[in-house]
Amino acid sequence: MENKRILVVDDDPQILQLLQQAFESKPWQVKTADSGSSALKLASAESFDLFIFDLQLPHLNGREVLEALRKRGVATPALMMSGQATPVTALSFEKLGCKALLEKPFEIDKMLEAAETAMSARTSGPAVRVLVVEDHKELLQLFVRVLRSTGIEAVTAQTGDEALERISAAELPFDFAMLDLHVPGLDGPQLVKAVAQRTPKTFIIVVTGEASSEEIGAAYRYGGDLLIRKPFMVEMLPSILADLKHQAQEKRSKAEAQEEYDRLPTHKKMMKKVRDMVAAPQRSKSKRVLRGVAVAILAAMLGLATLGAAAEIQSAVVGQGSLVQSVIDRLEGYLERDEARELEGERRSR
Same domain? For 80 and 200 the reply is no
Domain total of the chain: 3
β-pairing, 129-133 with 78-82? unpaired
Same domain? For 178 and 234 the reply is yes
**pLDDT tens string 274-292:** 666 556 555 555 655 666 6
Q: What is the mean pLDDT of residues 84-102?
A: 69
Same domain? For 133 and 256 the reply is yes
Contact 244, 176 (CB under 8 A): yes
Average pLDDT, the chain: 80
Same domain? For 232 and 272 the reply is no
pLDDT beyond 90 at 19: yes
What is the per-residue pLDDT for 67?
Answer: 85
Least confident residue range of 88-102, 207-221, 316-330: 316-330
Same domain? For 102 and 83 the reply is yes
The arrangement of strands across the sheet holding 98-103 comes to 29-33, 5-9, 50-54, 78-82, 98-103
User: What is the Cα 248 distance to its own chain's centre?
Assistant: 10
Same domain? For 224 and 294 the reply is no
What is the per-residue pLDDT for 66?
Answer: 86
Contact 145, 73 (CB under 8 A): yes
Beta strand residue intervals within the chain, DSSP E: 5-9, 29-33, 50-54, 78-82, 98-103, 129-133, 153-157, 176-180, 203-208, 226-229
Dist CA 270 CA 268 (whole Å) = 5
Question: Where does a domain end: 122, 149, 181?
Answer: 122
**pLDDT tens string 177-234:** 999 999 999 889 999 999 999 999 999 999 999 889 999 999 999 999 999 999 888 8
Question: Where does a domain end: 260, 288, 303?
Answer: 260
Q: In the chain, what percentage of residues exceed pLDDT 90?
A: 33
Same domain? For 64 and 114 the reply is yes
Same domain? For 21 and 93 the reply is yes
What is the per-residue pLDDT for 63?
Answer: 86
Same domain? For 89 and 10 the reply is yes
What is the per-residue pLDDT for 342?
Answer: 64
User: What is the Cα 47 distance to its own chain's centre?
Assistant: 12
**pLDDT tens string 45-87:** 777 889 999 988 888 888 888 888 877 667 788 899 887 755 5
Question: Where does a domain end: 122, 147, 173?
Answer: 122
What is the per-residue pLDDT for 338?
Answer: 61
Dist CA 260 CA 276 (whole Å) = 15
Closest CA to 290 of 327, 320, 241, 255: 327
317: confidence class by pLDDT, cuts 50, 70, 90: very low
pLDDT beyond 50 at 313: no
Dist CA 59 CA 68 (whole Å) = 13
pLDDT beyond 90 at 44: no
Same domain? For 149 and 102 the reply is no
Q: Domain containing 195 — which CATH number?
A: 3.40.50.2300
pLDDT beyond 90 at 97: no
Same domain? For 178 and 233 the reply is yes
Alpha-carbon dihedral 9, 12, 17, 20, rounded to 10 degrees: -20
Q: In the chain, what percentage of residues exceed pLDDT 70?
A: 71
Range of the domain at 93: 5-122
335 or 115, greater pLDDT? 115
Q: What is the mean pLDDT of residues 117-141?
A: 80
Interior CA angle at 249 toward 172 and 123, to 5°?
65
Same domain? For 283 and 237 the reply is no
Least confident residue range of 12-16, 115-119, 204-208: 115-119
